[in-house]
Amino acid sequence: MKRFISLGVLLAIIIGLGVVLSAVGQSGQLPGVRPQTANPNASALAMTSEQGVWLLIWIVFVTLGPLVTFAAFLTFIMWWGNRQVVRARTGEKQPLEFSLDPAKPRTLGSVLVRSPRLVIGVAVFLLIGGAVFLALIGAFG
């Protein structure tokens, strides 16, 4: 049932756009809009061919630029994630021990000593999370 409603709405939008485009094609302007001047340099409803080319260039630049950038970023993220999965599958299967002894490899203590950014990040996250929690329960008021 939801699909039929969505299809009906989409069909109504397409028909409405077709009617508007038909009216624009016949008269050269939007229905119900009266231009104030015939000079395309002074009108917001008309443009010269040079203005049309610049508009097309800017529309392509504004729409395709971020789209291509985002697609390249997502491609890089997927490539990097797949690389890590392949590396983990082909690597040695050793479980991580929850010991804080940094001398033993493959323990939580060893990981924390080798990556201080992780410790700092967790500490900052806990501080901010604790402050937000205290603010939400009204401890500061």
pLDDT tens for each residue of 59-80: 888 888 888 899 999 999 999 8
E strand or H helix at 99, and its extent? none
Q: Which residues pair with 107 in a beta bridge?
A: 97
Query: How far is the C-alpha of 119 from the C-alpha of 109, rounded, in Å?
Result: 11
Indicate the SS3 state at residue 51: helix
Query: How far is the C-alpha of 138 from the C-alpha of 92, rounded, in Å?
Result: 49
**pLDDT value of residue 9:** 92
- The 10 Å Cβ neighbour count of residue 29 is 13
Contacts of 32 (CB under 8 A, 6+ apart): none
**pLDDT value of residue 53:** 83
Q: Tens place of pLDDT for every residue, the chain, 141 residues?
A: 788 898 999 999 999 888 877 776 666 666 677 777 778 778 777 777 787 788 888 888 888 888 889 999 999 999 988 998 888 888 777 777 788 888 888 888 888 888 889 889 989 999 999 999 999 998 876
**pLDDT value of residue 72:** 95
Token digits for 28? 């050269």
User: Can you give the residue ranges of every domain in the chain?
Assistant: 1-32, 49-93, 94-141
**pLDDT value of residue 78:** 93
CB of 40 closer than 8 Å to CB of 46: yes
Q: In 3D, which of 41, 4, 118, 79 has the Cα closest to residue 108?
A: 118
Which residue in the block uniquely carries the two structure tokens 């493959």? Answer: 106
Residues 68, 71, 74: CA angle, nearest 5 degrees: 150
- The 10 Å Cβ neighbour count of residue 72 is 10
What percentage of the chain carries pLDDT values higher than 70? 92
